[in-house]
A and B are shown apart, each in its own frame.
Chain A
Amino acid sequence: MDLTTFLIQCLNALQYGLLLFLVASGLTLIFGIMGVINLAHGSFYMIGAYMAYALAPIVSSTFGGGFFAVLGVGLVLAVLLGYVLEWAFFSFLYQREHLQQVLMTYGLILVFEELRSLLVGDDVHGVSPPEILAGTFPLSDLMTYPVYRLFISAVCLLLALGMYLVFSRTRLGMMIRAGSTNREMVQSLGIDIKFLYRVVFAAGVAVAVFAGMIAAPVSSVYPGMGSSVLIICFVVVVIGGIGSIRGALLAALLIGVVDTFGKVLLPQASGVLVYVLMALILLWRPNGLFKAG
């Protein structure tokens, strides 16, 4: 592998890792910080992608907006969806065991997939990136790189920074972290924990949906896309250490590197390398790379 190719592969690894973090960040919030096992996370990602596809004509005909308008509308809908979901399905689950959450979110996956099939159908769709971001720039004599992917990476970094700042530097973040460690204590301190949880959950769903919308132009929109990201998202959160945002970021980047170079250097084993990585890391650090916080 010559230097140019190596550098391009590094860029690929970085970009994939950042994309992974973007998709997994919603799970970091809900699972990592609230401790709720949400198997429907992949479904939220899928909902985001399908929203990007389905809302585009509606938004452009109603008030002439483009991609960013769709993003805005989608985000609002996502927050609403998260709020309602938490109220209807999850609020009674915090007291229950984790496995009850597993069972319920499994049911939710089935329901979401089928609703998608009923409402939008089973075809494959593409979403175009907005005009200003649709260009490419040359990397080598043969290869070019799409600007949109850089945009996604930038968004992801901003998101990571934002999440980190909110959770470690603001009062809200402090309350959330306290609430996840000791719900009753926080409640007895006069903080409305129910409302707090609802907000965080809605934020988690919104981030997952947002990731689906942003990633739609590069990932395309098809049935089953939710289930393919689900497991890898859990791998990211677990390797990084549950509750740690920088852990999740580092884990995502690690997976990006292993996946990218694995495909090229060890193609026969590339399917399993990520799992071998996870097993090795957990055997070395049984609680993931970083502690919560």
Chain B
Amino acid sequence: MKLVRTSLLVACALAAPLAMGQNTAKIKIGLMLPYTGTYAALGNAIENGFRLYVEERGGKIAGREVEYVKVDDESDPSKATDNVNKLVKRDNVDVLVGTVHSGVAMVMAKVAKDTGTLLIIPNAGADAVTGPMCAPNIFRSSFSSYQPAYAMGEVAAKKGGKKAVTITHKYAAGDESVRAFREAFEKNGGQVIKDLNLPFPSVEYQALLTEIASLKPDLVYTFFAGGAAVKFVKDYAAAGLKKSIPLYGAGFLTDGTLDAQGADAEGLFTTLHYADSLGTPRDNSFRLAYAKTYKLQPDVYAVQGYDAAQILGIGATAVKGDLSKKAEFATAVEAAKIDSPRGVFTLSKAHNPVQDIYLRQVVGKENKVMGVAIKGLADPARGCRM
């Protein structure tokens, strides 16, 4: 109605001068994360990790105070462009940080590429982000779907498996994970006899579990996360397969889900760039600080958020706080060794972490580190022209 329409006009008119860009001394950080919906817990963990790094430095990065603007991306790619535009065009953020869902991250990457805004991705593993969509102003502090999966492919082959069946949801993240597993597994003498998948977000696994039993592989590789991972591990154990067909997975299968999975997850091997019990001094101090500040245990998402802030810190310090010096920022970060709770890592030319992938086993309520599956694994960055 008229009142609504007038209010909109007034509101936007008031916002317009604010949107005309102010040059304050604060660094404006735009957090685009899922605050509602299935991934809300991850969004919160990432933000917590990010803030912890900044708080450890007195709330400043490169001498400039930090200001946060948050947008809930609802993990919805069809609304992603509008949401990113809120941060880039309305709030004129200096840095974009986000997100969890790969589809949304792809949209963020596109906008970042088009506008030249600095983007640091604290989770979404879409290979394309440091592949065809790579750019000098886009960085990732987490992983690419390729990395944990490829590492598991090697581990599984070396553990004596020859015939594998993969199972995942039918979507990009699942496909990329299974593909990388296959690459490593077959390179090491194994053979993937069948790829099973089910539509996202269905969690009715029984039919496929029966199928696995009839195929009788040496092992099963899976990629599931969140609620789907909890149900899969429980169903796999209840179907009796856990005793006879070893289950291997990308780390998300058992990350943040062990409480819910209980005894059904005991003994499962997974690969990830982080584990609950690394025991290094760096990790211990991080975990202590996180637990003290948030009264929660950190997880891989918190670490990724923390390291996103680290990357920003390293780059910003190198350009003495002048974030418009994009090329110098990139050079500094590319050359840096990032002292992360997960261990020291560097960024590849495509700006994806080159990191150790740990082999972990579930012992009690923890993902205990069993060793390093692959040291310094880099994503092949296929399609990246930088």
Q: How far is the CA of A16 from the CA of B214 in the complex (A)?
A: 20
Q: Closest 7 interchain pairs by CB?
A: A222-B227, A271-B199, A144-B240, A126-B260, A122-B40, A224-B38, A12-B206
- Residues on B with C-beta less than 8 A from A144 are 238-240
Interface string of A9-31 (1 = CB under 8 A from B): 10011011000000000000000
Q: Which of A123, A126, A219, A259 contacts B256 (CB 8 A)?
A: A123
Min CB distance, B351 to chain A, in Å?
A: 30
Question: Does B89 interact with chain A (Cβ within 8 Å)?
Answer: no
Contact A125 B208 (CB under 8 A): no
Residue of A nearest to B225 (CB): A124
> Per a CB cutoff under 8 Å, which of A1, A145, A224 touches B239?
A145
Partner of A264 from the list B208, B227, B239 (CB cut-off 8 Å) is B208
| Contacts known (A122-B41, A228-B201, A267-B197); A128 close to B207, Cβ less than 8 A | no
Interface residues of A in 235-263 (CB under 8 A from B): 259-261, 263
Residue A114 at the chain B interface, CB threshold 8 Å: yes
Contact between chains at A271 and B202 (CB < 8 Å): yes
Q: What is the distance, in angstroms, from A188's C-beta to the closest C-beta of chain B?
A: 40
- The 0/1 profile, CB within 8 Å of B marked 1, for residues 103-125 of chain A is 00000000001100100011111
Q: Which of B197, B204, B235 has the most C-beta atoms of chain A within 10 angstroms of its own C-beta?
A: B204
Pick from B36, B198, B214, B230: contact of A267, CB under 8 Å: B198
Give the residue among A5, A139, A142 with the most B Cβ atoms within 10 A: A142
Asked if B259 and A126 sit within 8 Å, CB to CB, the answer is yes
A–B pairs, 21, beta carbons within 8 Å: A5-B210, A121-B41, A122-B41, A123-B41, A123-B256, A123-B259, A125-B259, A125-B260, A126-B230, A126-B260, A126-B261, A140-B213, A143-B210, A145-B238, A222-B38, A222-B230, A224-B227, A260-B204, A264-B207, A264-B211, A270-B199
A188 to B209: give the CA distance in the assembly, Å: 57
CB–CB B210/A12 < 8 A:
yes
- The chain B residue with its CB closest to the CB of A271 is B199
Evaluate contact between B234 and A220: CB separation under 8 angstroms: yes
Chain B's closest residue to A261 (CB) is B207
Chain A contacts for B238, CB-based, 8 A: 136, 144-146, 149
Q: Within the complex, which residue of A2, A113, A142 is in contact with B245, where a contact is CB–CB below 8 Å? A: A142
Q: Decide: A225 and B40 in contact? CB cutoff 8 A.
A: no
Would you call A2 and B214 a contact (CB within 8 A)? yes
Measured in the bound complex, the distance between the Cα atoms of B257 and A145 in whole Å is 23
A259 interface neighbour in B201, B204, B241, B262, Cβ under 8 Å:
B204
**A138 B227 Cβ-Cβ under 8 A:** no
Chain A nearest CB: distance from B229 CB in Å? 8
- A224→B230 CA distance, assembly (Å): 14
The answer to whether B38 and A223 have CB atoms under 8 Å apart is yes
Whether B241 contacts A143 by the Cβ 8 Å rule is: yes
Whether the pair A143, B213 counts as a contact (CB closer than 8 A) is yes
User: Do most interface residues of chain B lie in helix, strand or loop, or is the interface mixed?
Assistant: helix
Residue A93 CB within 8 A of the other chain = no
Q: With a CB–CB cut-off of 8 A, which chain B residues contact A220? A: 227, 230-231, 234, 260
- For B211, list chain A residues within 8 Å (CB): 5, 263-264
Contacts of A261 in B (CB 8 A): 207
B170 CB → nearest A CB, Å: 7
Number of interface residues of A (CB under 8 A): 47
CA distance A265 to B328 in the complex (A): 55
B44 within 8 A of A: yes
Complex Cα distance, B206 from A9, in Å, reads 8
Instruction: Give the docked Cα–Cα distance between A123 and B40 (Å).
Output: 8
Known: A8-B210, A219-B203, A264-B208. A124 touches B230 (CB 8 A): yes
Within 8 Å CB of A114, what residues of B? 36
A51 touches B (CB below 8 Å)? no
Distance in angstroms from B156 CB to nearest chain A CB is 19
Q: A126-B261, A223-B40 are in contact. Are A259 and B207 (CB under 8 A)?
A: yes
B214 proximity list for chain A (CB < 8 A): 1-2, 4-5
A253-293 interface mask toward B, CB cutoff 8 Å, 1 = contact, 0 = none?
00000011101100100110000000000000000000000
- Of listed A114, A124, A221, residue having the most chain B CB within 10 A: A124
Residues of A within 8 A of B206 (CB): 12, 15-16, 260
Q: Would you give the 0/1 interface string for B241-263, flagging 1 where the beta carbon is closer than 8 Å to chain A?
A: 10011000000000011011110
The CA of A19 and the CA of B336, in the complex, are separated in Å by 54
The answer to whether A142 touches B216, judged by C-beta atoms less than 8 angstroms apart, is: yes
CB-based contact A124/B207 at 8 Å: no
Q: In the bound complex, how far is the Cα of B206 from the Cα of A10, in angstroms? A: 11
The chain A residue with its CB closest to the CB of B257 is A124
Q: Give the distance in Å from the alpha carbon of A237 to the alpha carbon of B313 in the complex.
A: 56
B207 engages A142 (CB within 8 Å): no
Residue B364 interfacial (CB < 8 Å)? no
CA of A222 to CA of B226, assembled, Å: 8
| Chain A residues within 8 Å of B227, by CB | 124, 220-225
Q: Is B196 an interface residue (CB 8 A)?
A: yes
Least distance between B188 CB and chain A CB atoms (Å): 26
Q: Which residues of B contact A136 (CB under 8 A)?
A: 238, 240
Q: Which residues of A contact B201 (CB under 8 A)?
A: 224, 228
Chain A CB within 8 A of B37 CB:
yes
Determine the distance from Cα of A271 to Cα of B40 in the docked complex, in whole angstroms. Answer: 25
Nearest residue, chain A, Cβ from B194: A267
Complex CA distance for A125 and B234, rounded to whole angstroms: 12
Nearest opposing residue in chain A for B210, CB measure: A8
Q: How far is the CA of A223 from the CA of B234 in the complex (A)?
A: 18
Given A146-B239, A224-B38: 11 more A-B contacts, CB < 8 Å: A4-B214, A124-B226, A125-B260, A126-B234, A142-B244, A144-B240, A218-B234, A219-B203, A228-B201, A260-B206, A263-B211
> In the complex, which residue of chain B has the Cβ closest to the Cβ of A123?
B41
Q: Considering only CB atoms, which chain B residue lies closest to A228 in the complex?
A: B201
Look across to chain B and name the residue whose beta carbon is closest to the beta carbon of A256. Answer: B204
Closest to B231 in A: A220
Distance of A219 Cα from B205 Cα, bound (Å): 11
Contact status A117-B36, CB under 8 Å: yes
How many whole Å from A207's CB to the nearest CB in chain B?
Answer: 21
Residues of B within 8 A of A219 (CB): 203, 231
